[in-house]
Chain A
Amino acid sequence: MSDPVRIRGLQQRIKSVMWSRNSQRFKMVMLGRNLSDGLIAKLIIYMLLSIVAYLYLQPLLHMISTMFMTVSDLLDPAVKWIPREITWENMTKAIEGLQYPQALFNTATIALTCSIAQVLVCSMTGYALARLAVPFKGFITAMVLLTFLIPPQVVIIPLYVIFSKLGLLNTMFVFLVPAIFGQGLKGALFILIFRQFFRAQPPSLEEAAKLDGASVIRLYVRIMLPLARSACLVVFLFSFIWYWNMYYEPSMFLAKGFTPLSIRLDNLENVLNPSLLGNKNNITNPVTEGTKMAAAFLIIFPPMLIFMFLQRWFITGIERTGIVE
């Protein structure tokens, strides 16, 4: 074989190696070493997340923009997102229709007291199920799970009768008493979260405290509960939000007194428009739509505010609790 041919062959091989190396570098920039390093991956992540974020934000934006519209803006098909002039009339009407200060107080009282009670009781129960000697532990754990599964609709009438016998109807205690006894809204879920959390803690801590002569109660109050701070925060926030938003139970138990915001929102159409009574189902009435949106905003606003302040701890708390094993 002659030299020029060999050299040409070598050159070609060098070229192909260089080309593949360059292309690899290009690939590295575009795709990256990790899933998230490369340009393309980043672009895709941003795109997907933005689309979904838009879907999440859209109802919220719709609410806020409708809130400031006048009736003529609402009827005008040319006006979609931005109202011609900003009106506060909807807001004042909504505050009046909801009896906002009163209802806000009711909702806040229920949500606060019940969620604090739930944190205390569920953590106790969870701790007992995780660490203490309890007879029939397996059976009780199964029952906790079962309470999570029972739909509220199944037991609502017997509960109604029980509550009326106990004289709790139309007072805030109709939610507080079950919460104190560990049967609050989604209490089973919280018990399981706490159980999982306490199980993940090293047992040496308790052994050390026991050797030093601490009683179980002291050990629980002084060591375990402070240790579970992040879990407590997560449970408190979830519980608060769920109590704030609940609708079905208060519509049965609190229809006549101590009405929370969610019930008032449902009645708002009747309050604004007494003549339409009875056929409010799924009719979008342009005259009241703005007011309703304002009312919805007024309801969401306080938990949103709380969440904004607490979200950093909330998110890291959730990551740290490791909710489940």
Chain B
Amino acid sequence: MSKLTAHRKEALRYHMKQYGTGMMFMLPWIIGFLIFVAIPVGWSIFMSLHKVAVVPGGFQYTWLGFQNYKDAFLKDSIFPIEMITYFQEMLLMVPIIVIFALLIALLLNQQFPGRFLFRALFFLPVIFATGQVLSELFTQGAGDIPFLEQYNLEPLVRQYVGGELALTVMEVLGRIVLILWYSGVQILIFIAGFQTISPSIYEAVRIDGASPWDSFWKITLPSSLPFISLNMLYTIIDLFTFPMNPVLAHIRENMFKVNTGYGYASALAWIYFAFIFVLIGIVLALFNRSLRQRGRRS
């Protein structure tokens, strides 16, 4: 009996030792998470339930319950509208960015002279796209493309898409250059992803007589499905914290208003966060299902 417990003790000690080394590697992150993520997030949720006033020496909280969240939808005349329009735009922009990145990555993955030069060029957005420099450039109008006015596309779009949505479409078209600039990392991810598809598969289907067209639809596209889902996620998150995002601008504005304050701004931010979270959940679920189906079939 005592032998058994000794044995068990030994096993326990072994496990603790294992956990110990693991924890040692994790420790910095865990400390950082507690101080710089858990506390601020908890605090921000706490604030969103209060009316927060800044007084000398700290904050003054008045309990409001869910009033801030209710106000966001019932009283605020800007927030719901802006959020809905931004979501519409996002639903259009995410597929455009991902498809564009896929196309460019496909082209850059081909063998042709001068490929190296082009590749280097297409990494430029990765360097600049995050910065203040780019927004400076765009306020100066450096990124406009004239074809929208030149060919008078607006009535055309209005005719085919109709009313409300036409505005969104035009807005997205107007930002097409910006969209291209925001697909730098996605192109990178796709190029990295294509390297994982073995070239022998292409060889095999070519011998079986498949055209490049077939091999794209039957091999390249299905095998890059995980990368497409990853890119969708990355794009959603990227647009979510986009510097020219009107919703975030509204939140920032409310932060320093006297009658709304930081409590209300936090509530807005959490509502926004919840919507994005749902969107990400849907994307993940869809891709997981299609991936699993593929796995079952093969």
Say whether A55 contacts B145, CB under 8 Å.
yes
Say whether B188 contacts A318, CB under 8 Å.
yes
With contacts A59-B143, A132-B21, A133-B22 known, is A157 near B136, CB below 8 A?
A: no
Distance (whole angstroms) from the CB of A260 to the closest CB of chain B: 10
> How distant is the Cα of A53 from the Cα of B276 in the complex, in angstroms?
32
Q: Which residues B188-241 have CB closer than 8 A to chain A?
A: 188-189, 191-193, 195-196, 206, 212, 216, 226-227, 230, 237, 240-241
> How distant is the Cα of A58 from the Cα of B30 in the complex, in angstroms?
44
Stretch at the interface among A15-23, A44-52, A82-90: A44-52
* Interface status of B251 (Cβ within 8 A of chain A): yes
Provide the B96-129 mask, 1 if CB < 8 A to any CB of A, else 0. 0000000110011011101000111111111110
* Interface status of B168 (Cβ within 8 A of chain A): no
Distance (whole angstroms) from the CB of A285 to the closest CB of chain B: 10
Say whether A159 contacts B36, CB under 8 Å.
yes
Distance (whole angstroms) from the CB of A232 to the closest CB of chain B: 16
> How distant is the Cα of A135 from the Cα of B26 in the complex, in angstroms?
10
Provide the B142-154 mask, 1 if CB < 8 A to any CB of A, else 0. 1101000000000
Cβ contacts under 8 Å, A182 to chain B: 28-29, 32-33
* From A140, A158, A265, contact of B26 by CB (8 A): A140
* Interface status of B292 (Cβ within 8 A of chain A): no
Cβ contacts under 8 Å, A124 to chain B: 25, 28
Q: Which residues B135-186 have CB closer than 8 A to chain A?
A: 136-143, 145, 177, 180-181
Say whether A296 contacts B181, CB under 8 Å.
no
Task: Name the residue on A nearest B43 (C-beta).
Answer: A158
* Interface status of B41 (Cβ within 8 A of chain A): yes
Say whether B252 contacts A183, CB under 8 Å.
no
Q: Which residues A58-80 have CB closer than 8 A to chain B?
A: 58-60, 62-63, 66
* From A42, A128, A149, A246, contact of B25 by CB (8 A): A128
Task: Name the residue on A nearest B108 (C-beta).
Answer: A49
Provide the B23-53 mask, 1 if CB < 8 A to any CB of A, else 0. 1011011111101110111011001000000
* Interface status of B134 (Cβ within 8 A of chain A): yes
* Interface status of A36 (Cβ within 8 A of chain B): yes
* Interface status of A7 (Cβ within 8 A of chain B): no
* From B37, B138, B140, contact of A147 by CB (8 A): B37
Say whether A49 contacts B212, CB under 8 Å.
no
* From A148, A153, A242, contact of B252 by CB (8 A): A153
> How distant is the Cα of A314 from the Cα of B139 in the complex, in angstroms?
31
Say whether B37 contacts A60, CB under 8 Å.
no
Task: Name the residue on B nearest A181 (C-beta).
Answer: B32
Chain A: residues with Cβ within 8 Å of the partner, total of: 89
Say whether B137 contacts A36, CB under 8 Å.
no
Say whether B39 contacts A125, CB under 8 Å.
no
* From B26, B143, B272, contact of A134 by CB (8 A): B26
> How distant is the Cα of A181 from the Cα of B35 in the complex, in angstroms?
9
With contacts A154-B266, A158-B39, A158-B40 known, is A53 near B188, CB below 8 A?
A: no
Cβ contacts under 8 Å, A42 to chain B: 112
The 9 closest A-B pairs by CB, nearest first: A181-B32, A245-B131, A36-B110, A128-B25, A182-B29, A158-B40, A155-B40, A132-B22, A35-B212
14 contacts between A and B (CB under 8 A): A35-B216, A121-B29, A128-B25, A150-B273, A155-B41, A158-B39, A178-B32, A182-B28, A191-B29, A246-B131, A247-B132, A296-B133, A300-B131, A325-B196
User: Which residue numbers of A lie inside 8 Å of B, CB to CB?
Assistant: 33-36, 41-42, 45-46, 48-49, 52-53, 55-60, 62-63, 66, 121, 124-125, 127-129, 132-135, 140, 143-144, 147-155, 157-159, 162, 178, 180-183, 191, 216-217, 220, 238, 241-242, 244-248, 262, 265-266, 282, 284, 289, 292-293, 296, 299-300, 303-304, 307, 311, 314-315, 318-325
User: Which residue numbers of B lie inside 8 Å of A, CB to CB?
Assistant: 15, 18-19, 21-23, 25-26, 28-33, 35-37, 39-41, 43-44, 47, 103-104, 107-108, 110-112, 114, 118-128, 130-134, 136-143, 145, 177, 180-181, 188-189, 191-193, 195-196, 206, 212, 216, 226-227, 230, 237, 240-241, 243, 248, 251-252, 255, 262, 266, 269-270, 272-273, 276-277, 280
